[in-house]
Structure 1
Amino acid sequence: MPTHPTPPPTPTDPAAAPTSSPWWARPLFWVELFAAVNFAVLTLDIYLAHSMNRFAHAGEWIPFFYSLAAAPALVFCWLIQGRLSPHLPGDPLDDGPPRWRRWLARWLGILVGALGIVVGVAGMILHLQSHFFTSQTIHNLVYTAPFAAPLAYAGLGLLVILNRTEHARSLEWARWVVLLAMGGFLGNFVLCLADHAQNGFFYPSEWIGVIAAAYAVGSLIAVAAFPASRSTWRLAVLVLLAQFVVGLLGFLFHLIPNLRGPMPTLWESFIYGAPIFAPLLFADLATLALLGLWAIALACPGVVGRPRHRPTLDASPSSARS
């Protein structure tokens, strides 16, 4: 992850975008919202997951309180900087907030992201420690706490830091967004494989999520490696649209057994039953990946069939005399 932003694109750079475009036409706004909303949703997800053992270990409250604070902290950053898109060093002051407010908002956001990485990596180690570190077997890897799940915090943390270290109009920023989404799908592949292996893939439909995540990983790696390829970009769009269908089907497959489960209360059905939010990760990650593909299309218009117009110099005598 770069620590210094790349120079802002020049007007003739294919990554350059009109600064007068409305807020909803800029991927960075939606990526910032994506990170904040995901932090907020993780609060409920963590509460449900750790309620299974009634927060037996005090450390299980750490991701809960971090999630509870991360989204408001990002909103606070937006308020003091006067907009959703972070200010980077070298940006013109214009009529925006004073320099100290920009500095405070940027570094507070970086702190939120860095803490997310720490929480995610520590959570993965603690989940593996529950069984796998005792005996390194496939059985213990499958039946340990979902070790890839905490890495969602690390991914969101990297995303928040990326928005504050790279110019969002650059191709580098777009490729990093795609790679972070790919990392999420890779984690989802591991989660889906390990979770469904616990019952030996009793239902053939349980393979759908594994196969869909694998296709998403492959297509996003191809886009990150060849961002200017039109066929690769379009194939990735189709694969990502299919992830929404997979996520919805998985949500229904998890919801119906929970509603019909033998637990005495509905709350216990959702705590001890199939993880209700897990299939929605397919749609969630597909949203982030599509934002990355949108940013690539803005930086490389040729991938959507809109060749970039190159300004030409008029060398006629009349223009020379003017």
Structure 2
Amino acid sequence: MKIITHSIIGSGLSAFVRDQISKNSIIFTPKKKQNLNITRSKNFYELNILGGNTNIWGGYINLKRHKYLYKKKKYFNFFKNSKKLKIRSLFNSDKFEQTYYLSEFKADKIFRINKKTFNNKICFKSIDKFYTSKNLIFLISGKKIFKTKKLSICVGNLNLIKLLFNSKYINKKDIITYDDGGVNYSLNIFKNKSFFYYIPMGIKDTFTKLFFKKTINYDTKISSFFLLQKFSKSKKKYKYTVEHILKFQSNKIRFFLSHHVANLRINNIPIEKFCINISKNISVHSSGVCKKYYGGPISQDLIFNALK
């Protein structure tokens, strides 16, 4: 059996970044399903197919956070050298905090992920569990086993918990904690910038999403906004058992809302450290790795964490 140099589980934004900075890697992802149902549990909402959540939500960028991270060498070089994506201004209004979005490099279309997006090989297999032995990591997909030297886990937080449970690194009674804030939407009437981060939406974008269609590009020239997507700036700590979280169900995709779970811990151990304790050759790249919750877009933090 050939030994893989580097394996990436997942195919969303974090996986894309890992792919761009890696050679001789293989990306493992399930095939696209006909009916796009999202898996949800508590604050977790995930689409476990090629592109993941990146192909549902619009890759918003918090410009303030982006400018701060842009001072970091790896983050700066990633955007400087990228020929596949760039950031563009979403709107021009001093009434809201400035929000940008990830677009295709040569067009203003929203950045979406497909098979051609990746430099490395894609293997359309769902990894059910894994285990380690000596200096290798064994990935299990049904009856098939893959050997790899290094592993980047780039699935969402819910699928990460499921993967660790199936691999018997956590059990039903283990405690999961995380930070998150409220997310909702309202008409553009009442605003309080002190408590919420707002992403305004025009009538066209609003009705496009209401009819369960993905927006191809944003109308960046509008000056009046119909609806506001709002993220609370204050956080709340959540605490559940693994058993409680894994009682998830499928639901229709919510094109409006997405939660931004941060500071994910297992038995009070940060998720990044928990997986490093399994093997020093395992890295985790999800919003749960973010130590601090930020109200508003987190694409910039996902990219930064994936560059580590």
In proportion to residue count, which structure has more strand?
A: 2
TM-score, normalised with respect to structure 1: 0.29
TM-score, normalised with respect to structure 2: 0.30
Q: Which protein is bigger by CA-based radius of gyration?
A: 1
